[in-house]
Every structure is written in structure tokens, then in C-alpha cells.
Structure 1
Amino acid sequence: MLSSRYTFIYALLMAAVVVASNFLVQFPVVGTFWGIALGDLLTWGAFIYPFAFLVTDLANRQFGPSIARRVVLAGFVVGVTLSFLASAPRIAIASGTAYLVGQLLDISVFNRLRRQTWWRAPLAGSLLGSALDTLLFFSLAFAPLFAFIGPNEDFAIQSAPILGALATEAPRWISWALGDLVVKILVGVVLLLPYGALMNVLKPMPQVAPAR
């Protein structure tokens, strides 16, 4: 069946995004920008993860929320399993939890807005999903409150200026979370371009509610 084949393809893409972002989130960006140490703001995972929302939204547009949830669940199982091999267990647990909750929120928001202007559903879904995902991931992965999940990384709890420029200092993982969210928002906006380009290729199936 067409839906089964596409579900498999979407699931593979999703798993690749999850594994790559889980691995790269352990590596801060090296360098400075306007005198700001990027390592206090960003990890490379922030640039990869927004593609997960693109995959989910395309599946939702083409096959509806039911198939999109299957893609998310398939990506969750495969991605988290492989992530335990590619990253620390606490990172994998935090990523799996944040991923699942954030993606399901994205599906719900997208489905509510799918009949509106074409960019509103994917943009709103990805922004809200990214915000929740970032909050859950960095809290579970690095906050001392959740140390029972696994050992923390010493460099993640060292103090660093928030956003690299403000006088107030906080654990580095909080600065990472803020920088991560900003990048996710920017990348999410940019990914509207491939979403729009694929709209005429991946058209909704007859049984799916129209999406502009």
C-alpha cells in the first residue's frame, strides 16, 4: 500500500533525525560571534532536530494525524533504541520523552490549523512543539532535579552568562536551552521553504481532510 511505503520512508527519515540530533547535542558549537562564546549557547543538535517537525508535518499533510502518529512512534522506537548506542543513556531518555511529547503536540496543532493558510499549521506546530521539546529535553538531560535518570555532565552545570551577554549567570544547560530554542525557531521558519516546495508533490490522500 502507498501509505505503508511512505510511512516506512517517513519513519526512516525520522529515526535518522533523532539519532543525529541526539549524538550532536553532546557537542557545543565552537567559536565566537560578536564576542559571545557560542559553546555557551548552542550545540550542533539544534540545527538538526527541527527536521523532525518537517517530516511529521509532511506525513500529517499527506496521510492525516493517524499515520503521522505512526511515523512518530516508529521513529521513537528506532531512534531511541539507536540513541542508547550513540549517546549517554540519560540523553537518550530525555530525548525520547521530549521528542514524543513535542511531536504529538505538533500533530495536534497542525491538524487544528490544516485548513488555514498553508504556512500557519506547520509553523505553529513546529514552534509550539519546539518550545515544549526544548523545555523537556534540557531539563531531563541536565537539570540536577532529574539526576535519578543518570549522571550529569559536569560541563553542563558549570556557570555561564545567559545568552553569553547578560550579567546574570546560570548553569550552562539553561543557556544552551535558550540558544537551542532560538535556533530551532529560525530553522523552523526556514524549513517552511521545503515544506511549501513539496506541497504540490505530497498532496493529501482523498480520505484526508484538505490541507492548504
Structure 2
Amino acid sequence: MEFMTQEATEFFASQAPKGPNALVRAMRALIRMIIPVLALMGVFIWADFGVGQPITLFDGLFLANQPQLQPSQWLTNGHFLVALTFLVLNLTNRRYGAAYATAQVTLAWLILGGLVYYYFVVSEQSFMERQLPSVRISVSFVLALLTAQYLSISIFDWTRGRPWWRAPLYSAIWGTAIFCFIFYPSAKYGVDQPWISQMLSHFVLMILMSFLMLVPYFLARPVVKPLPGFGGA
């Protein structure tokens, strides 16, 4: 986490105004950051809406003789959409490098946090207007996903190159593992729920999503090409 925060700091420092063309470079850096940040925030918002949409497709595949443990009892579209965050980060990392992707994550979370603060504190909206997760679950989710995103960026950067699928697959799988094995124990340990089976089921399904995300990544490769200095097949 400290390493990735340092990378984000170095990125912003590298974009700081210097010389006569400082304003032009700063504007270019800002414009470049808009689409990646909006894409990541869009996935966050989409996943938030998906939390209320249970998935029944996998019922019967896991513990079919125990209906209370079926994935539809806890698995939602929001769980699946978490995998899209790694796809967005992988494409940014492929194009601009790890420092840029780190800045993307940092800015997206800061803006999202600011929006949440404004909505509930400044505009004085009631927390009772919608069913919100507990503080423990919310903190666990943010901590798990933020850690997974930062580390997946490093893994992509370490493994980028040939074959083309190695970096996006490894980063997504490790990101998924980090998310699941941080979120579920921290959010549900001690709770009267079969959280271990939920964690393992979610992990297996997210591994499947990691492979499926190779398809849009492959299709985007001709458009999202690495800038000079960044390797990648």
C-alpha cells in the first residue's frame, strides 16, 4: 500500500508544472486521466446498483442439497462487477503504466469518497432512505478492494510482456484472491453465516470472470496500445 501510494505521489509530481509548456502538459495529463477515472467510477456505481440483484444462475452447482447455502442467497451482480475494475485497471496499466493506473485508483476513490460525504453530510440526506451495509462491511470492502487494486497494478507491471494474456490474467486472479481473502474474514468472521463457503464460491466464480475478462481485453488491445517505454504484447 505504501509503495503504491508513493507511485501515485511520484506520478502527480511528474505532472507538476515545469517550464514554459507546463500548462499544456498539465492539461494533457488531466485530460488523459478523465476517461480512466470515469470508467473506474462507472464500474463502482454499476456494482453498487447490482448489489440488489441476486444471481440464480449458479444455484444447484454449489451444495445443491442445502438451499440456504445457494449462491442466490448472497451472490449478486455487484459481486461479479468487481471483476470489471481489474479489467479497467489492466487497460490503463497497459497504455500508461503502473504509476498512471495507481493515480487512477487514488483519484477515483477520493472523488467517490467526496461524493458520499457530500450526499450524506453536506446535503443532509437520510441514511434511512436506502438500506446501507454496516460500517464493518463497508470498511472491509473498501480496504479489501483498494488493496487488491493497488497490488494488481504491481502484478500487471511485473508480468507484462509476452504472452499477451499473462499480465491481465495474473493481475486479475491475484487481485481477486486478495479481495476475497481480505473482505470475507474481516467482514464476516464471527457472524452466524457460512462465510467460508461464500468466500470460496465467490473466489471460484471470480476466477472464471478473470478468464472471461481476457476476451474484452484482447479485443481492446489494438485500440489501447502501450505508449513508448511500456512493454506489452
Taking structure 2 as the reference length, what is the TM-score of the superposition? 0.70
Q: What amino acid is the match of 1:183?
A: L
Partner of 2:4: none
Q: What amino acid is the match of 1:66?
A: A
Alpha-carbon shift at residue 138 of structure 1 (Å): 1.7
Partner of 1:205: 227
The DSSP-based 3-state class of the residue aligned with 1:122 is helix
**Is 1:6–2:28 an aligned residue pair?**
no
Q: Residues 86-135 of structure 1: CA distance to partner in whole angstroms, max 9, x if unpaired?
A: 74233332221111110111111111111221000000011011101111
Alpha-carbon shift at residue 81 of structure 1 (Å): 5.1
Higher strand share: 1
Partner of 2:158: 112
Q: 1:45 and 1:81, CA in 2 relative to 1: closer, same or farther beyond 3 A?
A: farther
**Hey, what's the Cα distance between the residues in 2 that align with 1:93 and 1:82?**
17
Contact kept in structure 2, 1:106 and 1:128, CA below 8 Å: yes
Question: Which of 59, 64, 71 is 2:92 aligned to?
Answer: 59
Q: RMSD of the TM alignment (CA)?
A: 2.5
Contact kept in structure 2, 1:95 and 1:137, CA below 8 Å: yes
**Is 1:123–2:156 an aligned residue pair?**
no
Q: What amino acid is the match of 2:136?
A: R
Matches within 5 A, 1:130-209: 130-144=176-190, 157-158=191-192, 171-206=193-228, 208-209=229-230
Higher CA-based Rg = 2
Contact kept in structure 1, 2:96 and 2:230, CA below 8 Å: no
**Hey, what's the Cα distance between the residues in 2 that align with 1:2 and 1:193?**
30
Alpha-carbon shift at residue 22 of structure 1 (Å): 4.5
Identity of aligned residues (%): 29
Q: 1:78 and 1:93, CA in 2 relative to 1: closer, same or farther beyond 3 A?
A: farther
